[in-house]
Amino acid sequence: MKSIRNIAIIAHVDHGKTTLVDKIIGESHVLDERKEHKELLLDSNDLERERGITILSKNVSVDYNGVKINIIDTPGHADFGGEVERVLKMADGVLLLVDAFEGAMPQTRFVLGKAIALGLKPIVVINKVDKENCKPDEVQEQIFDLMYNLGATEDQLDFPTVYGSAKQGWMSTEGWNEPTGTVKPLLDDIVEYIPEAPHNEGPLQMQITSLDYSNFVGRIAIGRVFRGVIHQGEDVFLLSREHPPKKSRVKELYVFTGLGKEKVKEVQSGDICAIVGMENFEIGDTITDLEHPEALERIAIDEPTMSMLFTINNSPFFGKEGKFVTSRHLRDRLMKETEKNLALRVESTDTEDKFNVFGRGILHLSVLIETMRREGYELQVGKPQVLIKDVKGVKSEPYETLVIDVPENFSGKVIELVSGRKGDMLAMEPKGDVMHLEFDITSRGLIGLRNSILTATAGTAVMNHRFKEFAPYKGEIPERNKGAIVSMEAGKVSSYSLDRLQDRGRFFVAPQDDIYVGQIIGENTRDKDITANLTKGKKITNMRASGTDDSMKIAPKIEFSLEEAMEYIRDDEYLEITPQSLRMRKIKFRA
């Protein structure tokens, strides 16, 4: 029987995790040498490639010196905490990947804390040592302190450290200034230090930790066999939380090899496999032997911290761009998402066409919305609301740790903006040529803060935040202090009107854009909402004017990303989302 190592990779967004996996796959010659090789093989979803982050966790397997290594890629962002926790259940050890310049970041701490609590053995990989001004030795000490503070055991603190550059394709256990030209030293360390997947004899036990979907065979259950052996064609019990034990048959069995799956007759305990033929299963369910049905402990997932109202698009432009526009389409799509997105909850409201969707943060919800709009859905969402909880009789709200790296000359402005949102400063220290600031801030205070900080720092600030805890409510927090400019007429925007009204504020539309009554077309310079008619053209006469027609200088329109628009809207506004457009509108508007 082949020796197996199951290892999860933990890293902050953009610390080189997916690139390292590319190099490991290259080293073990999994891909066909004759075909063109793409980079970032694991970030296979379009959204992941565009944002450069991992959202869904993937499984890859490589063979090295007769040992099968199952590599599980985990998302680095706290908003996808639901993915992280269930993935760590499949692993026996973790690779902690850190940037040699940036060191440990908030999200790294979030996932590492989960791994240490589960008792997994870490290997620390200090990546990007080819960067200028990097300080690998300091980062290594920083990681040791971090693990100590997270309550690691002596065995976990005695971790091996590997230095290298995934981009250049080398890793070394000797030191960071000795390139080896290969990632083999890292694979040797994985085989040596990560415990072998235990082979537990006895009746079958397997937990479903994720699911896949195929148009041909339907839902596929993925998980790790904890005990016993599972065979193709075998009858098993499916133990779930809601339903009584149910008999099912394993129609087909697959194990992961390389980037794909390979059909097998049986899977031993310790390996990760995919099963076809199960019906009505959920993530966290246990597959057991018919004679000894024993359930494994279910996966506990962090509670949501934020909610948004989702509703159908009922604006004057509904149905022009999307394929799915009715409340039935919206309900079915949201319910389908809750099956595989564990940290998401959907609740119906008193009306048929409105749904409250609960998630782990703005990014978590915006990835769902962006995926839906790419699939052809039209919808409207309200302002994100933070969940208020009652903890031991005290009204409490979620707090986050906010980390901002910003050039020194802008640090004063950043501190002023965060303090204005009732943020408390925890640390301030120089780090290379930037200032490293840490704050404690409520999730409410974070909504809309990114826009203000990027504007104030000319786009140079790098912000990261991570959920910390529920703590006592902090009172009112000032919000956007500028009013909206609302359209009072429908039609095409004329450059003449736009030019004449530029002193009123900044506009979100350009000449010849279609607008409707009640659409938010700009931001007022004052704090009151005003209405404007941007469709009025110039009155033409047959007299020739001399010198009055100066050339127009129209400022470019302000473009919002999805997250920026979600954070920008107020309580009395909706964000209208269609496959090609994002528009903001007043919910109730009388011209």
pLDDT tens per residue across span 21-35 = 777 777 766 544 333
Q: Could you give the percent of the chain with pLDDT greater than 90?
A: 13
Render pLDDT for 517-531 as a digit per residue (tens, 0 to 9): 999 999 998 888 899
On whether the CB atoms of residues 314 and 326 are closer than 8 A, the answer is no
Q: 153 with 31, same domain?
A: yes
Q: What is the CATH number of the domain that holds 223?
A: 2.40.30.10
Q: Is residue 334 part of a domain?
A: no
Where does a domain end: 263, 288, 313? 288
* Number of domains the chain is built from: 4
Residue 381 has pLDDT above 60, yes or no: yes
Per-residue pLDDT band at 222 (split at 50, 70, 90): confident
Q: 163 with 40, same domain?
A: yes
- Which residues constitute the domain of residue 563? 484-539+552-586
Contacts of 523 (CB under 8 A, 6+ apart): 482, 483, 484, 485, 505, 506, 508, 558
Separation of alpha carbons 272 and 538, rounded Å: 69
The helix, strand and coil proportions of the chain, stated in percent and rounded to the nearest 5, come to 25, 35, 45
Q: Is residue 331 part of a domain?
A: no
Q: 42 with 180, same domain?
A: yes
Q: Is residue 479 part of a domain?
A: no
Higher per-residue pLDDT: 552 or 320? 320
Q: 55 with 181, same domain?
A: yes
Please list, residue by residue across 204-215, b when 16 or more beta carbons sit within 10 angstroms of its beta carbon and e when fewer do: bbbbbbbbeeee
Q: 25 with 136, same domain?
A: yes
Per-residue pLDDT band at 509 (split at 50, 70, 90): very high
Q: What is the mean pLDDT of residues 480-494?
A: 88
Q: What is the mean pLDDT of residues 342-364?
A: 86
pLDDT of the residue at 379: 92
Is this model's pTM higher than 0.85 or not? no
Helix 411-420 crosses helix 449-456 at what angle (to 10 degrees)? 160
Q: What is the CATH number of the domain that holds 535?
A: 2.40.50.250
Q: What is the mean pLDDT of residues 423-440?
A: 86
Where does a domain end: 288, 323, 350? 288
Q: Is residue 364 part of a domain?
A: no
Q: 176 with 31, same domain?
A: yes
Q: What is the CATH number of the domain that holds 155?
A: 3.40.50.300
Where does a domain end: 193, 215, 230? 193
Cα-Cα-Cα-Cα dihedral sign, residues 276, 278, 279, 284 = negative
pLDDT of the residue at 31: 42
pLDDT of the residue at 463: 80
